[in-house]
Amino acid sequence: MTYSIAFCGIDGAGKTTIINRIYNKLNAAGWKWTYSHQNGFMKKFYNPKKGATRRWEKLNQIELKARCRKWKKINRTQCLLLDRCYICSLVYSNIQGYPDIAHRIKQHAFKPDIIVLLEPVEEIVGKATFFNKEYKKNLQEEEYEQFGSCLYIFGVISFWKQPETALTPLITAVLELLGLP
């Protein structure tokens, strides 16, 4: 059986640093996982002041469709570690005042089994509290269930899963690397 775990949170929360460490530990232990980053266009081309929302939306749709096909194919034989997921698009477009765009895009998105939400404190990452609330709201709207939390160097990590996702020994072992009790 294969699984997908996505890491989400505000920029500067430490997602990429943590995911790289986890990925290296898994590979060193001989576990076959694939690491990928979602939404390369999410911020590069998104600038409502330039009126580029349509361009941003189309690029996101193209990227998400391609990645979704790729990830579904990979996920048949390998587990995935994702640096961001469609939840990030929902959060950022809601905050920027364009929720309709992300909600049109989400139909193309790959929905991970587990989401690891990094919630830094405000003193370390500005606007963190606001973003953390928005992430949790979107996770609940997407029917993810919180099943645990732990502390990390910048704040709290909360763990979310799809209702049908079972916490197998493999998933539990990976999440224990992050500090899940």
Percentage of residues of the chain with pLDDT beyond 90: 37
**Residue 180 near residue 174 (C-beta atoms within 8 A):** no
Question: What sign has the CA pseudo-torsion 18, 22, 27, 33?
Answer: negative
Closest to 118 (Cα-Cα) out of 161, 163, 154, 162: 154
pLDDT of 39 higher than 60: no
pLDDT of 45 higher than 50: no
- Residue 173: give its domain's CATH number: 3.40.50.300
Q: For residue 5, what are the β-bridge partners? A: 81, 114
Range of the domain at 118: 4-178
Q: Determine the pLDDT at residue 58.
A: 72
pLDDT of 81 higher than 80: yes
Closest to 6 (Cα-Cα) out of 23, 17, 20, 19: 19
Mean of pLDDT values over 172-179: 88
Q: What is the pLDDT of residues 102-140, one digit of tens each?
A: 777 777 778 899 999 999 999 888 899 999 999 999 999
Number of domains in the chain: 1
Q: Which residues contact 52 (CB under 8 A, 6 or more apart)?
A: 45, 46
pLDDT of 79 higher than 90: no
Structure tokens at 25: 């530990």
Q: For residue 80, what are the β-bridge partners? A: 4, 34
Cα distance between residue 149 and residue 139, in whole Å:
15
pTM, entire model: 0.86
Mean of pLDDT values over 54-65: 71
